[in-house]
């Protein structure tokens, strides 16, 4: 294991060193008129920062130094933003270099310019590409930092009305609040999270759905936040299910029993907060003599990288045949694979998982995120043959501790 860690560490070190070196070559081409002193300051600042980042991650990765998790996350996020900005610039520099290469090849074979073969470097860089790449990279850094300190907790209420065929009159106008992907192990601002929970309660829901990923990996991540999330209540109940991160699959546990205990503890935490966790189960809600069936399954994904723990047939066993059914299922790919057009008595499915990748464009007129190339249904409401799927944007964040363009969501759905 240690050998693999060393190999992986060396690979990433060389990768980032290559990026830094390439970016430095680009920097040097835009500072020819600078004084020798200014160039020196820039060189020492640039490579000094790179060395400091390297030392920081060596100390953290191999646990020579332990910092508070919040500090580590924020430092890592800023470094991540700068690395992505560099990659943006590298992309433009590569385009520039390819153009220069083709121009040189053309001059070499198709012109009589004697100096062309000997001085390919004499073909100047395209200033437009250089400065465009630099500008986009710089803008990304600013946006990424804003996304941490403002976007991460910019809780947004999205309201939808869903028409349910055959919905009993007793449940028409029912208000459901959906949350998903809390990822409590990533939180770094308790006051902001408390504001989000207050906003949830202000919606005065009849019922609350939570569709998985309460933690990143370990059940104890939610413990410091249970007092806050335990404040979420609704007259007809708070129902929850599990997401792919809740099983501890991404941690090297010392024994299988330790992993099993982690999951058992997490299920217990749901119950302690007053949440009715549905482990391939259903609940029948009765009102004025009419019934509504709430179904919840464990994580089930049509994507090979994610687990298939859920069992929809088990969850539906002995469920009332004539009742409208609402399904909680973490991964939206489950809907197309097992629900829509197949399990037609499930009127609406509630999912999360994608986070909208925490990055993209999310407007009334246009929505885009890189995650759309992986998931056909990745954000908001989808309807097919009177069956509906709502994909929540997520309440928390994972990896990058912020959000750019696609903000944390509190969904308010009214049934009609």
Q: Can you list the alpha helix ranges (DSSP code H) found in 150-255? A: 190-202, 226-229
Does residue 193 register a pLDDT over 60?
yes
Q: Which domains does the chain have, with CATH numbers?
A: 2-149 (no CATH), 156-415 (3.60.21.10)
CB 204 within 8 A of CB 237: no
Sequence-separated (6 or more) residues with CB below 8 Å from residue 301: 244, 307, 308, 331, 333, 334, 353
What is the model's pTM?
A: 0.81
Query: What confidence category does residue 400 fall into, taking pLDDT thresholds of 50, 70 and 90?
Result: confident
Could you tell me how far CA 252 lies from the centroid of its own chain?
22
Sequence-separated (6 or more) residues with CB below 8 Å from residue 96: 125, 126, 129, 130
Distance CA 396, CA 367 (A): 20
Query: What confidence category does residue 195 fall into, taking pLDDT thresholds of 50, 70 and 90?
Result: very high
Distance CA 384, CA 178 (A): 21
CB 152 within 8 A of CB 192: yes
Neighbours of 46 (CB within 10 A): 14
Count how many residues are written for the chain.
416
Most confident region among 109-118, 137-146, 344-353 by mean pLDDT: 344-353
The reported pLDDT for the residue numbered 406 is: 97
pLDDT one-digit tens code per residue, 56-70 = 888 876 668 777 777
pLDDT one-digit tens code per residue, 15-27 = 889 889 989 988 8
Integer CA distances (angstroms), 360 to 306, 371, 407, in order = 23, 9, 10
Among 44-58, 112-126, 216-230, name the one with the lowest average pLDDT. Answer: 112-126
Does residue 99 register a pLDDT over 60?
yes
């Amino acid at each position: 294991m240690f050998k693999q860690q060393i190999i992986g560490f060396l690979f990433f070190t060389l990768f980032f060193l290559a990026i830094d070196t390439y970016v430095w070559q680009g920097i040097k081409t835009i500072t020819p008129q600078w004084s020798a002193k200014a160039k020196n300051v820039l060189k020492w600042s640039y490579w000094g920062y790179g060395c400091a980042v390297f030392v920081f991650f060596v100390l953290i990765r191999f646990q020579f130094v332990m910092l508070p998790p919040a500090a580590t996350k924020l430092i890592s996020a800023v470094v991540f933003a700068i690395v992505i900005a560099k990659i943006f610039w590298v992309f433009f520099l590569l385009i520039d270099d390819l153009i220069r290469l083709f121009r040189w090849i053309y001059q070499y074979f198709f012109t009589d310019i004697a100096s062309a073969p000997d001085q390919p470097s004499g073909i100047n860089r395209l200033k437009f590409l250089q400065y465009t790449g630099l500008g986009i990279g710089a803008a990304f850094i600013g946006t990424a930092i804003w996304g941490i300190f403002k976007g991460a907790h910019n809780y947004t209420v999205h309201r939808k009305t869903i028409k349910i065929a055959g919905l009993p009159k007793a449940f028409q106008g029912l208000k459901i609040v959906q949350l998903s992907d809390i990822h409590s192990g990533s939180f770094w601002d308790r006051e902001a999270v408390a504001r989000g929970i207050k906003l949830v309660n202000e919606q005065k829901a009849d019922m609350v759905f939570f569709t998985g990923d309460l933690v990143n990996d370990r059940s104890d991540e939610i413990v410091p936040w249970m007092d806050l999330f335990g404040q979420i209540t609704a007259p007809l109940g708070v129902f929850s299910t599990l997401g792919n991160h809740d099983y501890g699959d991404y941690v090297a546990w010392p024994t299988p029993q330790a992993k099993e205990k982690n999951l058992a503890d997490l299920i217990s935490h749901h119950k302690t907060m007053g949440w009715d966790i549905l482990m391939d189960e259903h609940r029948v809600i009765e009102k004025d003599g009419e019934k509504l069936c709430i179904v919840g399954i464990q994580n089930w994904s049509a994507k090979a990288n994610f687990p298939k723990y859920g069992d929809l047939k088990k969850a539906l066993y002995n469920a009332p045949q004539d009742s409208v059914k609402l399904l909680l299922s973490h991964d939206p790919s489950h809907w197309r694979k097992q629900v829509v057009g197949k399990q037609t008595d499930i009127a609406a499915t509630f999912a999360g998982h994608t986070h909208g990748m925490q990055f993209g464009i999310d407007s009334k007129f246009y929505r885009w995120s890189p995650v759309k190339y992986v998931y056909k249904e990745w954000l908001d409401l989808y309807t097919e043959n009177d069956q509906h799927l709502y994909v929540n944007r997520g309440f928390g964040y994972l990896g990058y501790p912020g959000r750019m363009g696609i903000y944390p969501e509190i969904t308010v759905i009214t049934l009609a």
